[in-house]
Amino acid sequence: MSAEKLSFEDFEPGRRFALGPKPVLAEEIIEFAQEFDPQPMHLDESAGRASILGGLAASGWHTSAMLMRMMADSYIVRALCEGAPGIDLMEWRKPVLAGDTLQGHSTVLEARQMRSRPGMGIVKFRHALENQRGEVVCLSENSVMIRMRLPPEGANMSSELPA
């Protein structure tokens, strides 16, 4: 089963993966905001229009979560992925409004083996999402731990996180 999955070796610098399209629904914006970011411009159409965002706008943290879902659907779930240590860059460049459709690409920036964890590599991606007018709304970079197809001899899959 693992043989069919994407491994570290498949993420060569320059390789691109399509993200989306993902239509952004008003009810999803409101539902996320109620749970995680209850500010008026994320909860109510008229409050959004009155704000500098110009309409019912997704929380940036919601846009980030939608980006993760697009990554998952494109390549993460079918890869030997072991999690991520964080986010290196996250720019919310334009408002994401109800009715927008997001799509974009993840591009492999670099890939290196982890010294602290034999058999595992770190792949750094750059992600860009555009709206239906071709405007970049979200630019991000993050690194993901992905297992190698053939761990080196003596590899020790311990259960601690890398330092």
Task: Name which of 18 and 89 has its Cβ closer to a copy of itself.
Answer: 89
Question: Which listed residue (53, 102, 111, 122) binds a copy of itself by CB under 8 A?
Answer: 53
CB of 154 to a copy of itself, least distance (A): 18
Question: Which listed residue (7, 51, 103, 107) binds a copy of itself by CB under 8 A?
Answer: 51
Site for a copy of itself in 126-155 (CB under 8 A): 145
Binding mask 14-43 for a copy of itself (x = CB under 8 A): ------------------x--xxxxx-x--
Task: Name which of 108 and 137 has its Cβ closer to a copy of itself.
Answer: 137
Cα–Cα distance between 107 and 115 in angstroms, integer?
23
Taken in order 90, 93, 98, 100, is the CA torsion positive or negative? Answer: negative
Angle of CA points 86, 91, 94, to nearest 5°: 145
Could you tell me which residues come within 8 angstroms of residue 109 by beta carbon, excluding any fewer than 6 positions away?
Answer: 13, 124, 125, 126, 141
What six digits make up the tokens of 159?
A: 């259960």
With CA atoms as reference, report the closest residue to 68 among 95, 42, 90, 38.
Answer: 90
Site for a copy of itself in 55-94 (CB under 8 A): 57, 59-62, 64-66, 68-69, 72, 76-77, 81-87, 89-94
CB of 141 to a copy of itself, least distance (A): 11
Encoded amino acid at 142, one letter:
N
* 32: β partners: none
3-state secondary structure of 128: strand
Residues within the interface to a copy of itself (CB under 8 A): 32, 35-39, 41, 51-54, 57, 59-62, 64-66, 68-69, 72, 76-77, 81-87, 89-95, 145, 157-161
